[in-house]
Amino acid sequence: MYTLQSEEFFASPADSVAVVRRCPQSPFPEHSHDFGEIVIVSRGGGMHVINDQAARVSTGSVLYLMPEDRHAFTEVNNLFLTNVMFRLPERYRPLLDTQLSPAFGMDWEIGCHTRRQVESLLTNLMVDFEAPALVRACYLEGVFLQLVALLWQNRYSASQDRGVDARTRQLVNYLRGNFTEQIEWEALATRFSLSLRTLHRKVLEQTGTTPMRYLNRLRLEHAAHCLKTGSDSVTDIALSSGFEDSNYFSTQFRHEYAQSPSEYRLRHRQAN
Ligand code: RM4
Ligand code: NI
């Protein structure tokens, strides 16, 4: 694992904040930073792993990394995000402590109204203006503090939005929490006041993949975790992950992991 150095990303030694867009974000190996990092997802989706804890991210996800944290993007689906990097993380830790949680990024979602306000602050952080180093540092820090306050105030705003985007985000969150159940798409669309057509289009936009493929991935990731860590039979794992048929599960598993569930279990047993 390697540590990214601030010299590589900050415009000058005096700058306390730097912003880089990743449009799109490519898969990125595990790393840490000698700076703090706030990641704001604006489109698509993917799998983010922070300190060995994996969580799917999608539009509106907000992640915090302090220098002691390690993270990676192991899977990306048309994932667009912005990294807000900040020096002197210890200076901001008391302010950010309220926002740092192991599960952070699993449950923090900003809604479309907040995303528009955040975008305006990100643009201000990226503005390039000539000024004495101290003036520039004060300007950047001021905008950064506004951003941190806005994110905290609106950390659950996705659920307050009434629009299609937020209802889709709620549906995606529902899938994350209920993928072991049998999903009836018509009933789910009705529950979140979406047409099937809109459900398909918006899930594709927010996760980068189709609803069925997204559901299958959630189930397969759960099954892979069970194969690695438990001793249940492949059939029991298939059923407890939401698959109705263990043959279909094995086919899907082989398609996603290029090996059978048993081979996967054996490989991870040998690795440990
Ligand atoms: C990478 C990735 C990392 C970030 C660096 C600056 O593309 O987003 O998380 O730390 O950029
Ligand atoms: Ni990073």
What is the per-residue pLDDT across 184-226, written as a single tens digit (0 to 9) for each?
999 888 877 789 999 999 999 999 999 999 999 999 999 999 9
pLDDT value of position 183: 92
Same domain, 150 and 171: no
- Counting ligands in written order, the one closest to the CA of 84 is 1
- Residue 146 half-sphere exposure toward CB, CA atoms < 13 A: 16
What angle is formed at CA 209 by the lines to CA 268 and CA 77, rounded to 5 degrees?
70
59: its two tokens: 């539009």
Work out whether the CA dihedral 50, 53, 59, 61 comes out positive or negative: negative
Same domain, 54 and 187: no
Counted domains in the chain: 2
- Counting ligands in written order, the one closest to the CA of 46 is 1
Pocket test for ligand 1, best of 17, 22, 74, 81 (most atoms within 8 A of CB): 22
Same domain, 119 and 10: yes
Low-confidence ranges of the chain (pLDDT < 70): 97-108, 155-162, 272
Same domain, 137 and 232: no
* Cα 83 to averaged position of ligand 1 atoms, centre (Å): 7
**229, 212, 52, 104: CA torsion to nearest 10:** -130
pLDDT value of position 128: 83
Q: Which of these three, 158, 177, 206, is where a domain ends?
A: 158
Same domain, 149 and 265: no
Same domain, 151 and 178: no
Q: Which domain holds residue 199?
A: 164-271
Same domain, 85 and 174: no
pLDDT value of position 155: 66
Which residues are near ligand 1 (CB < 6 Å)?
4, 9, 20, 22, 25, 28, 33, 37, 83
Q: Which of these three, 158, 188, 222, is where a domain ends?
A: 158
Same domain, 103 and 193: no
pLDDT value of position 106: 41
CATH of the domain at 224: 1.10.10.60
pLDDT value of position 200: 97
Smallest CA separation from ligand 1 atom 2, residue: 28
Work out whether the CA dihedral 212, 217, 222, 227 comes out positive or negative: positive
Smallest CA separation from ligand 1 atom 5, residue: 83
* Cα 33 to averaged position of ligand 2 atoms, centre (Å): 7
* Cα 73 to averaged position of ligand 1 atoms, centre (Å): 9
Pocket test for ligand 1, best of 5, 7, 21, 25 (most atoms within 8 A of CB): 25
What is the per-residue pLDDT across 251-270, written as a single tens digit (0 to 9) for each?
999 999 999 999 999 998 87
